[in-house]
Structure 1
Amino acid sequence: MSKLFLPILLVVGFAVWKVLDYLQLPNTFSILLILLTALSGILWCYHRFSVIPRRKRQIARAEQRSGQLLTDEEKAKIEPIGEGEEFIASLFPVLAFVLILRSFLFEPFQIPSQSMEPTLRVGDFIVVEKYAYGIKDPVFQNTLIETGDVKRGDVIVFKAPTQPNIDYIKRVIGIGGDRVMYNEIERKLTIVYGQNGKPCEENCQSKEFEYSEAVPNDAFKAILGKNPDGSLIYGPSMLELTETGDVTHKIHWFPEPISEGFRYQQYDKQEYYITEWVVPQGQYFVMGDNRNMSEDSRFWGFVPEKNIVGKATYIWLSLDKEPNQWPTGIRTERLFTKIQ
């Protein structure tokens, strides 16, 4: 039975993973990691405090009866420990360290799409600070200890409201109480700041974002689709400019304005190509820096506080690749750069 322990465990683990994936739970990997850590911890404690002491006593008795020391081969036959069980138990310190690190401190994240270009590129591997806005339990994402607040301009990773089993990354534009106005033709943002999480009624402060001149950046091409052979269909070069709002950073525009206002959701007002959203308290309005190539709060609504995974802080690796393509090299100039 001991020889079958590891294969059986792998089959059971795979089955549990498929069930969790089918249920589309928001923290499938965390749940699996917790279960595996708990199992390895139980085996580690059982071996450390029960099996190994009992085995030592049995070896001591056998040596006392025989009057001579046992060889390693003879010792191995007394109270033998299954290789599978011993292997799982030996993983406990590593799994416990990874669980604590990933659940409460840092989590790696890979950029899968063009929605945050030019700030973040496909192939970037980033570090997400899990503790930036609060220590949360790794399964239900309830805040256990508050450590900070989400600020306008932060780049955050969060569970997609429409698909909680998928992580998204976007930039925070508005927080609770803010009135966000987006001009679809001029592609410009204006924020009327809320007060204590509620919409401002009088003596309001507002911020009209400023934009530099847009210039084509030939290093970034719009991807319009795929050919039958799987190769990508590229469009024109993206326009790059600097947006100055609550923070200053680069953004991209598609060369021609794209009218998508008919797809916008949860807005409070829409007229003359200007759409207005009032952000509910405890929720956030987010957008991608690649403004015309991003599915964000304009299309599926606000991000609840509970959905936030953490703050994107650094790029630790950047592979030179396109979406769904194999990497062709490493972008060394992007290694260990801070996300602005």
Structure 2
Amino acid sequence: MSVTSIPHKPQQAKPKKSGFREWLDSVLFAVITATLIRWLIFSAFVIPTPSMENSLLVGDYLFVSRLHYGTTTPVTPLQVPLTHQSVWGTSIPSYLDWIQLPQYRLPGFTDVKRGDVVVFNLPVEHPEAYNKYSSVLPDLHPHPLDLRSNYIKRCVAIAGDKLEVRNGQVYVNKTAQKNPARMQSEYFMSTTTPVNEQNVFRKNGITDFSQFTETFNDSVASNDESGYIIKTTSALVEKLKAFDFVKRVEPIHTSKGLKEPYLFPETDSLYWNKDNYGPIVVPKEGVNVPLSPINVAIYGEVIKNYDGNDDIVIKDGKILQNGKMLTSYTFRQDYYFMMGDNRHNSADSRYWGFVPKDHIVGKAVFVWMSLDPDPVSFVNKIRWDRIFRIIE
């Protein structure tokens, strides 16, 4: 039996892509890859303010791990890739909030722990909250949950903790917490003569200082003393004490019982300040609290804005849902209390309240680049000693 071969149809060569098409494909692939990495694995951030000094400095560039706590699914899908709130270099919004999806969190390595340096979406950019806090944070604007401004602070208390600040020291569940190694506070430095600010302050990394005046705080010095108000670490305080022109260096704390304006919660019943704050219990999923007038002041915004409730009204120290007064409430998610390491120059949970778990972005892992915004010379622009520094 003979076999006849079937002739194959000659294959036509695929048309070669144009140079523009190849460039477009490469850009598209890069954007998709970068978007997935930024969403799933890690994101890069830069420190714009001194609220975390001296642990993190203005001009530090960070890698923030989204894997540690588990990345969250997008809530606002109609967004220009690789943007956050606006198109690069403009004030044009980079998203449309026509579609809002439910948020889910993928499994992570760990939960947020006390002492973690955490990046989160600022809760008070909620449409029902931002106006109230504009005196503390003047640039607030309302945004969807996943596109609220990224803030970085240290978690000092987790869900269920009872937090209190006494004379500047943080206590959690009645136990004094270990202070961050580079935590910065405010001090009065009494001197026998005016100092060379460049040699004494700037060379020692002290950028926030001012000459003392009696009107600043009558309690920190006697009438015949001169000196400086500085913000620095306890380690640098010991170094300053060794100078022969320094008489003493003392911490400045606001006295207990002296009420500080703009503090959270907004109520006339609590006389708290940044150095003497609380006690306050951080909301925990599944925990029920009675809704006394004080608890309404503390937890009212959580219940209204962040816990997934509808038709909540806060009026005359009471919480109404669908017109019915609530006498107790069970929280639907965990919350955290965040503070900056620059304890006297940080707009944190002491001023705007708790951070919901669904606002957590990731854990700050290390500094990959650091640029001094005000260098002595161009040679000193890069802070070489901070590159690849692990964040503690």
TM range (shorter): 0.5 to 0.7
Q: Structure 2 CA distance, aligned partners of 1:283 and 1:314?
A: 25
The 5-angstrom pairing of residues 58-137 of structure 1 reads 83=20, 86-137=22-73
Q: Supply the AA of the counterpart residue of 2:263.
A: Y
Q: Structure 1 CA distance, aligned partners of 2:25 and 2:120?
A: 33
TM-score (norm 2): 0.51
Contact 1:222 1:254 (8 Å CA) reproduced: no
What does residue 313 of structure 1 align with?
365
The structural deviation recorded for 1:208 is: 1.5
The structural deviation recorded for 1:114 is: 0.3
What does residue 237 of structure 1 align with?
230
What does residue 153 of structure 1 align with?
115
The structural deviation recorded for 1:223 is: 7.3
Q: Deviations over 1:22-48 (max 9, x none)?
A: xxxxxxxxxxxxxxxxxxxxxxxxxxx
What does residue 253 of structure 2 align with?
257
Contact 2:156 2:337 (8 Å CA) reproduced: yes
Contact 1:177 1:278 (8 Å CA) reproduced: yes
Q: Is 1:338 matched with 2:390? A: yes
What does residue 148 of structure 2 align with?
165
Contact 1:222 1:238 (8 Å CA) reproduced: yes
Contact 1:154 1:311 (8 Å CA) reproduced: yes
Contact 1:180 1:279 (8 Å CA) reproduced: yes
What does residue 287 of structure 1 align with?
339
Determine which structure has the larger helix proportion and give its number.
1
Judged with a 3 Å threshold, the aligned counterparts in structure 2 of structure 1 residues 331 and 182 are, in CA distance, closer, same or farther, namely same
RMSD over aligned CA atoms reads: 3.5
Q: Structure 2 CA distance, aligned partners of 1:125 and 1:168?
A: 14
The structural deviation recorded for 1:120 is: 0.1
The structural deviation recorded for 1:207 is: 1.3
Q: Supply the AA of the counterpart residue of 1:315.
A: V
Contact 2:117 2:364 (8 Å CA) reproduced: yes
Judged with a 3 Å threshold, the aligned counterparts in structure 2 of structure 1 residues 266 and 104 are, in CA distance, closer, same or farther, namely same
Q: Deviations over 1:141-161 (max 9, x none)?
A: 520224310000000001011
In structure 2, runs of 5+ residues without a counterpart are 1-10, 77-102, 126-146, 190-199, 211-227, 236-248, 285-333
SS at match of 1:156: strand
Q: Deviations over 1:235-276 (max 9, x none)?
A: 84313127xxxxxxxxxx996435763322138983576431
The structural deviation recorded for 1:166 is: 0.9
Judged with a 3 Å threshold, the aligned counterparts in structure 2 of structure 1 residues 129 and 239 are, in CA distance, closer, same or farther, namely same
Moved more, 91-100 or 112-121: 91-100
Q: Deviations over 1:106-144 (max 9, x none)?
A: 110100000000000001001100110113224465202
In structure 1, runs of 5+ residues without a counterpart are 1-55, 61-74, 193-205, 225-234, 243-252
Q: Supply the AA of the counterpart residue of 2:277.
A: T
Contact 2:158 2:336 (8 Å CA) reproduced: yes
Contact 1:238 1:254 (8 Å CA) reproduced: no
Judged with a 3 Å threshold, the aligned counterparts in structure 2 of structure 1 residues 210 and 304 are, in CA distance, closer, same or farther, namely closer
Q: Structure 2 CA distance, aligned partners of 1:88 and 1:210?
A: 53
Contact 1:239 1:254 (8 Å CA) reproduced: no
Determine which structure has the larger strand proportion and give its number.
1
Q: Supply the AA of the counterpart residue of 1:284.
A: Y
Q: Supply the AA of the counterpart residue of 1:190.
A: Y
Judged with a 3 Å threshold, the aligned counterparts in structure 2 of structure 1 residues 322 and 298 are, in CA distance, closer, same or farther, namely farther
Q: Supply the AA of the counterpart residue of 1:157.
A: V
Q: Deviations over 1:168-217 (max 9, x none)?
A: 0000000111111113xx2121111xxxxxxxxxxxxx311366998778
Q: Supply the AA of the counterpart residue of 1:221.
A: T
Judged with a 3 Å threshold, the aligned counterparts in structure 2 of structure 1 residues 272 and 293 are, in CA distance, closer, same or farther, namely closer
Which of the pair has the greater relative contact order for Cα pairs under 8 Å at 6+ separation?
2
